[in-house]
Chains A and B, each alone.
Chain A
Amino acid sequence: MINPTEYLPRTYRARVSTYWWLARWPYLKFILREASSIFVAWGVVVTLLAIRALRRGPAAYADFEAWLRTPVLLTIDVISFFFILFHAVTWFNLAPKAMAVRMGGKRLPNGVIAATNYAAWLVISAALTWVLLRG
Chain B
Amino acid sequence: MANRITLEVTRFNPERDEEPGCDTYEVPLHKEWVVLDALNYIKDHLNGCLTFRWSCRMGVCGSCGMTVNGVPKLTCATFLSDYAPGPVHVAPMKNFPILRDLVVDMSDFLAKLAKSKPWIIRKMEKPLDEEYFQTPEQLEAYKQFSMCINCMLCYAACPVYGLDPLFSGPAALAIAQRYNMDSRDEGASVRLDILSQHDGIWGCTFVGECTQVCPKNVDPAGAIQQYKLAATMEWLKALLLPRGSE
Contact = CB atoms under 8 A, between A and B. Distances in A.
Given A26-B212, A105-B140, A16 B14 contact: no
A7 B137 contact: no
Interface in A3-35: 7-14, 16, 20-21, 23-24, 26-27, 30, 34
A24 B67 CA distance: 13
B177 to A, nearest CB: 10
A103 to B, nearest CB: 11
A104 B205 contact: no
Contacts of A24: 70-71
A99 B223 CA distance: 10
B105 A94 contact: no
B118 interface: no
A66 interface: no
B15 interface: yes
A16 B162 contact: yes
Interface residues of A, number: 28
Contacts of B105: 1-2, 11
B19 interface: yes
A97 B15 contact: no
Contacts of A26: 207-209, 212
A2 B14 CA distance: 13
B144 to A, nearest CB: 8
Chain A binding surface SS class: loop
A13 B136 CA distance: 45
B15 A7 contact: yes
A98 interface: yes
A106 B138 CA distance: 10
Contacts of B19: 12
B225 interface: yes
22 contacts: A7-B14, A7-B15, A8-B14, A9-B14, A9-B15, A10-B14, A12-B12, A12-B19, A12-B97, A13-B98, A20-B162, A30-B159, A34-B205, A94-B208, A97-B221, A98-B226, A98-B228, A99-B229, A100-B141, A100-B226, A104-B137, A105-B141
Interface of B: 12, 14-15, 19-20, 70-71, 94-95, 97-100, 105, 107-108, 136-137, 140-141, 159, 162-163, 205-209, 212, 219, 221-222, 225-226, 228-229
